[in-house]
């Protein structure tokens, strides 16, 4: 059977030996083909709290730049559920007896995949990373922690019959990447906790799904094939390892993720729209008190992407500023990207984020004096999950299926074409007012000369932008 990249689906997608079709519901997914939902999963799926994920676009407002990016957290969660099941089932078939894998392990891994994003906020990560820190003055809130609260709420609200140990394990797996690795829960069958949210080396089925799904939705070619690592993985020393011949496939996982960050998630116009939406939500929070629901699952599940339409169509005078910003987005009257530069490699280690005040302080005297509220500075970090290090350094491989020895593969044995540095930091500046583009651009160039002795950007701001009124 050919791969999904040739319009057909890999043979393993058609049926797992662990699926009982008589009691499962079949759905067809445009990435994975036929997916079978078992009764425990359906108990959660058929609730209004999980169905809310249909109203959360996976990539927020990215569809305003990439029209096909209208897929949702619902599709992604179903996909991660299926891949989590395929992963544990394959390990069980090959090594289940020696690893003492039981039904409890299989069920908890699958449910963790299904429910890992049930606490996600609207507009992708913008809600959590950009909006909430401004209104809470804190970075402590996370969608993973909200997922734990939401799971408890769904179980109680719908009287779902499920063992407390199952719920506990599922919740542990969802936050495994941020948990203390020495905790007791993560020392027993540790490899199970690496399937959905892998804090050990970053390879997990969450990435498998969103990298392929997001690429396809945005019309981009994806060179990463998750069927290859699934075919070759095995557990050695309580860790999922991969056959050494697949080291380039594993590398493509991380390079494909970095490419998506550069071309989609951090696209200059996508970020301009994001900044405008954040400003709109911050202004609307004074009237709607959006932040008041973020700790109460009974209220939080009612919050989704439709809040934009509510603000846009509201006649409330208190929402006028937010409404105007959203209508500017609709009319493509966006914050204008002025320019960007990539932080030099020798500056990465000690680099501090640039602020609007830094740009203002670099403005030469002129007719117009810039204010902080006129400028947006975006400090973008793009890496391969391990900062400036090669992610393959934390991954163990094995030579062949007869060997029980695991080992990392150093850079020089992978390819001499690999980069010396695995991180980019890009500084972008936007003007909120079209008539200030020239002033902001000049101040940004002055900032570079003052701090680096030269303009580090590779192109100038186009004259048509500078002269826009």
Q: What is the DSSP letter of 103?
A: H
How far apart CA 196 and CA 258 sit, in angstroms, is: 19
Cα pseudo-dihedral 168, 170, 175, 180, rounded to 10: 50
Helix (H) or strand (E) holding 378: strand 375-383
What's the token pair of residue 439? 């002033």
Cα separation values, 344 from 340, 351, 360, 423, 426, Å: 13, 9, 22, 11, 10
Instruction: Give 107's contacts (C-beta < 8 A, 6+ positions apart).
Output: 40, 166
Helix (H, G, I), strand (E, B) or coil at 71: coil
Catalytic residue, chosen from 32, 120, 143, 251, is 143
How far apart CA 301 and CA 115 sit, in angstroms, is: 14
DSSP notation for 402-462? T----B---HHHH-TTS-S--EEEEEEEEESSGGGHHHHHHHHHHHHHHHHSS---SSPPP
User: Please, are residues 147 and 177 in contact by the beta-carbon 8 Å criterion?
Assistant: no
Q: What is the DSSP letter of 127?
A: I
Measured in residues, the chain has a length of 469
User: Please, are residues 277 and 444 in contact by the beta-carbon 8 Å criterion?
Assistant: no
Beta 25-29 vs 33-37: how paired, if at all? antiparallel
What residues pair up with 423 in beta bridges, in sequence order? 383
DSSP notation for 287-339? HH-GGGGTT-HHHHTT-STTHHHHHHH---GGGHHHHHHHHHHHTT-PPEEEE
Task: Give yes or no: 143 in active site.
Answer: yes
Helix (H, G, I), strand (E, B) or coil at 392: helix
Phi-psi region of 356 (alpha: psi -120 to 50; beta: other; left: phi over 0): alpha
Question: Beta-strand (E) ranges in 6-149?
Answer: 25-29, 33-37
Beta 239-243 vs 397-398: how paired, if at all? parallel
What's the token pair of residue 31? 């990435």
Residues recognised as catalytic: 143
């Amino acid at each position: 059977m050919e791969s999904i990249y040739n319009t057909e689906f890999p043979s393993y997608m058609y049926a797992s030996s662990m699926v009982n079709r008589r009691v499962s519901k079949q759905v067809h997914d445009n990435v994975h083909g036929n997916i079978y939902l078992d009764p425990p999963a359906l108990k959660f799926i058929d609730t209004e709290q999980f169905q809310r994920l249909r109203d959360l676009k996976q990539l927020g407002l990215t569809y305003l730049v990439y029209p096909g990016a209208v897929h949702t957290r619902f599709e992604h969660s179903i996909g991660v559920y299926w891949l989590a099941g395929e992963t544990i089932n394959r390990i069980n078939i090959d090594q289940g007896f020696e690893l003492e894998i039981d039904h409890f392990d299989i069920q908890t891994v699958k449910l963790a995949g299904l429910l890992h994003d049930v606490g996600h906020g609207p507009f992708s990560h913008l809600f959590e990373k950009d909006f909430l820190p401004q209104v809470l003055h804190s970075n402590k809130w996370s969608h993973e922690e909200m997922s734990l609260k939401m799971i408890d709420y769904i179980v109680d609200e719908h009287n779902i019959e499920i063992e407390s140990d199952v719920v506990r394990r599922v919740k542990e797996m969802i936050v495994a990447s941020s948990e203390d690795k020495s905790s007791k829960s993560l020392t027993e069958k540790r490899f199970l906790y690496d399937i959905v949210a892998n804090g050990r080396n970053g390879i997990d089925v969450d990435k498998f799904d969103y990298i392929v799904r997001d690429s396809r939705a945005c019309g981009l070619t994806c060179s990463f094939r998750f069927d290859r690592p699934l075919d070759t993985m095995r557990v050695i020393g309580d860790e999922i390892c991969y056959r050494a011949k697949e080291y380039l496939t594993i590398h493509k996982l991380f390079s494909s993720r970095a490419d998506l960050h550069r071309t989609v998630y951090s696209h200059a116009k996508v970020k301009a729209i994001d900044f405008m939406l954040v400003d709109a939500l911050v202004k609307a929070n004074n009237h709607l008190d959006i932040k008041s629901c973020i700790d109460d699952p009974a209220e939080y599940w009612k919050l989704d992407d439709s809040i934009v339409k509510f603000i846009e169509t509201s006649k409330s005078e208190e929402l006028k500023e937010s409404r105007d910003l959203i209508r500017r987005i609709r009319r493509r009257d966006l914050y204008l990207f002025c320019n960007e530069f990539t932080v030099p490699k020798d500056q990465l280690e000690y680099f501090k984020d640039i602020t609007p005040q830094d740009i203002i302080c670099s403005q030469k005297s002129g007719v117009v004096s810039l204010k902080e509220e006129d400028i947006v500075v975006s400090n973008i970090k793009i890496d391969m999950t391990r900062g400036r290090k090669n992610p393959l350094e934390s991954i163990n491989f094995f030579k062949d299926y007869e060997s029980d020895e695991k080992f990392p593969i150093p850079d020089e044995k992978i390819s001499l074409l690999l980069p010396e540095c695995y991180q980019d930091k890009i500084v972008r500046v936007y003007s909120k007012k079209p008539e200030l583009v020239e002033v902001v651009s000049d101040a940004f160039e002055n900032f570079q000369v003052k701090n680096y002795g030269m303009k580090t950007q590779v192109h100038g701001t186009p004259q048509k932008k500078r002269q826009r009124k």
